[in-house]
């Protein structure tokens, strides 16, 4: 198949390019825009308690403003306590906002119903005054259209406090969602520029060619447009929810993997040219040799990402297919469009380099290969032992469930305002929880029963206060609000809801009623349960399918076992190193809970890429009649530069995420770049060749694909 693709791309390159241009144009023209959301509730299925509570609240209290839309925080610019005159001015400023709230917000709500004219309430120490604004009817606060109201509100506040000596900030769920979206957009620009500059610089150092520096940028730009369009179509067809961070991750994945696959092909193409082949046969032979490895590597990545459809979390069910589509488009382009472009460009591809036909000595890789061939046991023990030590630290990993704060830069207005609010007022008041107490039948719930229920909730560990807010129209359902003692997204608050509030609600519910605990903290509790379930399902399924791909590629049952073992050690070492740096050295209380699954998928999938390339080259060298140790030496010598270049570029693209401006991107960027470097320079370069050299012919049982063929290269990869 790959020989046929090579012949097509080398003999009919303009046809291949024309088909790609036509296809890309159609997708870009007719695909919908890619929509994202920051609503964490949209990522959970309906079976969880927090979602049941949200559904009941929407059904039974459609006209309520129980959900906080925004919190306005006012304080003095000089940091002094607010005077009576300041408070009067603050109240006047807030009262004047009703006509400036936009479509997303309903009205300013009195914090104390007994004082309806007191809208800006001072904290006990008078360091701030704050006001609560409810959401408009039918608005969740997570629609992109709601963000215009945040801009309008901030503009109106800025004008109102001008010249008063007061400062104003807007926070709350909608403002945080707006700032998160803005931060993701800024991160995309920063990461894009850093990624492209890094790729251009590294390719310039490797190939000394202007055109090769530009080719991945242009090719991946086309691939990215097609992939985004197809992802948007898939999301619309299957009602998938995409996180607001998905575009940044997609960009990095496309450029990282796309450049890697282009490198895999170009190194083989240049190798054929150095052996004296002409342009067209060199393209065909390069694709025949590298095509199976590229396709198998891409298949492993796609399978890893598609395994996420088994997740119970919408955030992963959406991003899994999205990444799989992106990699699939990249893979097809690498096997068709790239060879066609290389054929058209011919020797101009390497301009202005004049030494691309001169094979370098590769002295360092040759020396490493020779040393590994002499002492494979030492290399296996040193590389495997290092990974095992780091993997042991992974058991100290502490998950954090604060998706909002981790995705916001510290200088965002909503971050600054919420910090002032929680310091001066109450951690729990920034995001109240609620409980829906509903009758099993048509019997109404009395006010005394609802009040008694609220008192039991108020007495639960971790709860600051609770009150029965209101019944529905027929009295069969009550909404009870409660404030937690700790920050609603903190581990302490999550544990309080999981271990105390939910138990208290079940125990205090009168006979014939059920209680459902809702709010963002309850959502975090269900996130935790869903993630634990996903770890036990997604990881094993992805690993088993990747092993099947390896077994089919290598015709072996032995090699896939130690290849996956090495990748598993790489995953553990990556998580352990990230935990060591951020928790034990930097002092962070925890790392975002979704980090391990991203590490697993990227390190397993992309680490398998490099392992596949090396094991395929090991088999190829063995088929030339070399012993296992000689094959390992030659593989490191010839395949080492490819793996090193690809690993550095991909690690660099992931490292660019650290410029994204929030803790999620920083920790993720470090983890993925470290994992890729481990995959390239420890697993693929040392561990895999060393184990293969030690096992020798046994590594290829039962297919023994390492045996020399009668016709040279008849089944080469």
Q: Specify whether 508 is located in the same domain as 552.
A: no
The most confident of the ranges 49-53, 360-364, 527-531, 592-596 is 49-53
Residue 126 falls inside a structural domain: yes
Confidence band for 144, pLDDT divided at 50, 70 and 90: low
312-370 per-position pLDDT tens digit: 877 777 778 888 898 999 999 999 999 999 999 988 888 888 777 776 666 788 899 99
Alpha-carbon gap, residue 651 to 646, rounded angstroms: 8
pLDDT for res 43: 63
Q: What is the pLDDT of residue 242?
A: 62
Q: Kindly state whether residue 346 falls inside one of the protein's structural domains.
A: no
pLDDT band at 311 (very low <50, low <70, confident <90, very high): confident
pLDDT digits (tens, 9 = 90+) for 619-647: 888 888 888 999 999 999 888 888 888 88
Q: What is the CATH number of the domain that holds 451?
A: 3.30.70
In a domain, 134, yes or no: yes
- Segment 486-513 mean pLDDT: 90
HEC readout, 495-529: HHHHHHHHHHHHHHCCCCEEEEEECHHHHHHHHHH
Instruction: Give the residue from 710, 703, 696, 711 showing the smallest Cα distance to 622.
Output: 696
What average pLDDT does range 521-529 have in this prediction?
88
- CATH code, 657: 1.20.1640.10
Q: How confident is the model at residue 142 (pLDDT cuts 50, 70, 90)?
A: low
Q: Is residue 448 part of a domain?
A: yes
Q: Which of 3, 78, 496, 46 is nearest to 281 (CA)?
A: 3
Residue 8 has pLDDT above 50, yes or no: yes
Neighbouring-strand partners of residue 75: 167
Identity of the highest mean pLDDT range in 14-23, 158-167, 300-309: 14-23
Q: How far is CA 56 from the centre of its chain?
A: 31
For residue 253, give the nearest of 190, 195, 317, 339 by alpha carbon.
Answer: 195
pLDDT tens for each residue of 422-461: 888 877 777 789 999 999 888 899 999 999 999 999 999 9
Nearest to 107 by CA among 58, 69, 159: 69
Residue 254 lies in a domain: no
Assess whether 544 and 680 both reside in one domain: yes
Please compute the mean of the pLDDT values over residues 190-204 and round it to a whole number. Answer: 81
**Are 694 and 548 within one domain?**
yes
Same domain, 511 and 561: no
Beta strand ranges found along 557-634 (DSSP E)? 591-592
Given this model, what pLDDT does residue 712 score?
Answer: 42
Flag whether pLDDT at 86 surpasses 60.
yes
DSSP category for residue 359: P
Please indicate, yes or no, whether residues 389 and 508 belong to a single structural domain of this protein: no
pLDDT at 183 over 80: no
Same domain, 440 and 556: no
Query: What pLDDT band is residue 715 in, cutting at 50, 70 and 90?
Result: very low
Domain ends where: 155, 171, 187?
Answer: 171
pLDDT for 249 beyond 80: no
**How confident is the model at residue 63, as a pLDDT?**
61
Residue 182's pLDDT band (cuts 50, 70, 90): confident
Largest CA distance in the chain: 96
Residue 706 confidence (pLDDT) above 80: no
Q: What is the pLDDT of residues 13-56, one digit of tens each?
A: 999 999 999 999 999 888 887 666 555 555 677 889 998 998 89
Q: Is there a single domain that holds both residue 94 and residue 152?
A: yes
Predicted confidence at residue 584, as pLDDT, reads: 93
Q: Using one digit for the tens of pLDDT, what is the confidence trace for 405-415? A: 555 677 788 88
Q: Please determine, for residue 187, whether its predicted confidence score (pLDDT) is greater than 70.
A: no
Count of the separate structural domains present in the chain: 3
H or E stretch at 71: strand 68-76
In this prediction, residue 437 carries a pLDDT of: 95
| Domain membership flag for residue 244 | no
- Do 581 and 692 fall into the same domain? yes
Integer Cα distance of 178 and 180 in angstroms: 5
pLDDT at 22: 94
pLDDT tens per residue across span 643-659: 888 888 888 877 877 87
Q: Residue 243 forms beta bridges with which residues?
A: 37
Same domain for 626 and 594: yes
- Closest Cα to residue 473, out of 445, 448, 494? 445
pLDDT of residue 502: 96
- Predicted local distance difference test score (pLDDT) of residue 716: 37
Structural domain of 124: 64-171
Residue identified by tokens 């390719």 is: 203
Structural domain ending residue among the three candidates 171, 201, 216 = 171
Same domain, 546 and 607: yes
Give the confidence band of 404 by pLDDT, cuts at 50, 70, 90.
low
R_g (Cα) of the chain, nearest Å: 29
- Per-residue pLDDT band for 174 (boundaries 50, 70, 90) equals confident
Per-residue pLDDT averaged across 73-90, rounded? 90
Mean pLDDT, the chain, integer: 84
pLDDT at 662: 66
Domain end marker among 171, 192, 216:
171
Residue 647: closest CA among 691, 681, 687, 600: 681
Poorest-pLDDT segment among 243-257, 285-299, 379-393, 544-558: 243-257
How confident is the model over 129-153, as a mean pLDDT? 75
Provide the CA 231 distance to its chain's centre, in angstroms. Answer: 16
pLDDT range class, residue 577, cuts 50, 70, 90: very high
The CATH number assigned to the domain holding 94 equals 3.30.70.1320
> How far apart, in whole angstroms, are the C-alpha atoms of residue 556 and residue 695?
13
- In Å, how far are 75, 82, 334 from 169, measured between CA atoms? 9, 16, 49
Is it the case that residue 688 has pLDDT exceeding 80? yes
The answer to whether residue 548 sits within a structural domain is yes
Structure tokens, 81: 């306590």
* Token reading at 607: 């680490």
pTM: 0.74
């Amino acid at each position: 198949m790959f020989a046929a693709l090579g012949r097509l791309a080398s003999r009919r390159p303009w046809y291949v390019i024309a088909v790609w241009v036509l296809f890309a144009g159609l997708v870009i023209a007719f695909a919908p825009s890619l929509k994202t959301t920051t609503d964490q509730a949209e990522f959970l299925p309906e079976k969880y308690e927090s979602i049941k509570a949200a559904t009941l609240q929407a059904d039974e209290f459609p006209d309520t403003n129980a959900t906080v839309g925004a919190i306005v925080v006012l304080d003095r610019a000089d940091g002094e306590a607010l005077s009576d005159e300041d408070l009067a001015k603050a109240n006047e400023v807030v009262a004047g906002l009703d006509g400036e709230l936009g479509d997303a917000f309903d009205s300013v709500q009195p914090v104390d119903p007994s004082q309806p004219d007191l809208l800006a309430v001072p904290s006990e120490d008078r360091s701030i005054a704050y006001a609560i604004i409810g959401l408009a009817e039918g608005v969740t606060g997570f629609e992109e259209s709601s963000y215009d109201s945040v801009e309008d509100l901030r503009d109106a506040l800025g004008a109102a406090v001008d010249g008063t000596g007061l400062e104003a900030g807007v926070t709350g769920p909608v403002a945080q969602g707006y700032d998160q979206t803005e931060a993701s957009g800024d991160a995309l620009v920063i990461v894009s520029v850093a990624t492209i500059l890094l790729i251009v610089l590294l390719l310039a150092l490797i190939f000394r060619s202007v055109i090769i520096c530009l080719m991945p940028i242009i090719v991946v730009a086309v691939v990215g447009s097609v992939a985004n369009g197809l992802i948007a179509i898939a999301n619309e067809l299957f009602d998938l929810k995409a996180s607001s961070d998905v575009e940044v991750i997609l960009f990095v994945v496309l450029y990282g993997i796309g450049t890697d696959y282009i490198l895999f092909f170009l190194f083989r193409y240049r190798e054929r040219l150095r052996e004296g082949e002409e342009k067209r046969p060199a393209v065909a032979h390069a694709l025949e040799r590298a095509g199976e490895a590229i396709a198998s590597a891409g298949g492993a990545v796609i399978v890893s990402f598609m395994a996420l459809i088994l997740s119970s979390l919408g955030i992963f069910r959406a991003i899994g297919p999205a990444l799989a589509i992106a990699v699939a488009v990249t893979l097809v382009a690498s096997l068709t469009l790239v060879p066609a472009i290389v054929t058209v460009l011919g020797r101009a591809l390497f301009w202005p380099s004049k030494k691309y036909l001169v094979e370098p000595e590769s002295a360092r890789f040759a020396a490493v290969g020779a040393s590994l061939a002499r002492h494979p046991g030492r290399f296996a023990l040193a590389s495997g032992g290092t990974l095992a030590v780091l993997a042991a630290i992974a058991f100290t990993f502490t998950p954090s469930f604060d998706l909002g704060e981790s995705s916001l830069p510290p200088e965002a207005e909503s971050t600054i305002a919420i910090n002032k609010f929680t310091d001066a007022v109450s951690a729990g008041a920034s995001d109240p929880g609620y409980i829906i107490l509903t009758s099993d039948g048509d019997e109404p719930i009395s006010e005394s029963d609802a009040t008694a229920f609220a008192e039991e909730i108020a007495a639960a560990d971790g709860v600051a206060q609770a009150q029965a807010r209101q019944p529905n129209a027929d009295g069969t359902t009550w909404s009870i609000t409660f404030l937690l003692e700790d920050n609603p997204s903190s581990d302490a608050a999550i544990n309080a809801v999981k271990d105390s509030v939910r138990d208290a609600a079940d125990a205090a519910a009168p006979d014939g009623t059920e209680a459902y605990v809702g709010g963002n903290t309850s959502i975090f509790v269900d996130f935790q349960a869903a993630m634990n379930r996903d770890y036990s399902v997604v990881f094993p399924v992805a690993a088993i399918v990747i092993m099947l791909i390896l077994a089919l590629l290598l015709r072996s049952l032995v090699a896939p076992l130690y290849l996956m073992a090495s990748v598993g050690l790489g995953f553990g070492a990556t998580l352990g190193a990230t935990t060591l740096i951020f928790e034990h050295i930097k002092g962070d209380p925890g790392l975002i809970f979704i980090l391990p699954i991203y590490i697993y998928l990227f390190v397993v999938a992309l680490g398998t890429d490099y392992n596949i390339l090396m094991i395929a080259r090991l088999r190829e060298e063995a088929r030339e009649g070399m012993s296992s140790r000689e094959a390992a030496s030659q593989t490191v010598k010839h395949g080492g530069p490819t793996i090193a270049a690809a690993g550095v570029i991909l690690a660099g693209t992931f490292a660019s995420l650290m410029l994204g401006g929030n803790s999620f991107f920083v920790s993720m960027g470090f983890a993925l770049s470290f994992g890729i470097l481990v995959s390239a320079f420890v697993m693929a370069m040392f561990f895999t060749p060393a184990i293969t050299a030690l096992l020798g012919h046994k590594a290829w049982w039962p297919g023994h694909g390492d045996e020399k063929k009668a016709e040279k290269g008849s089944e080469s990869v």
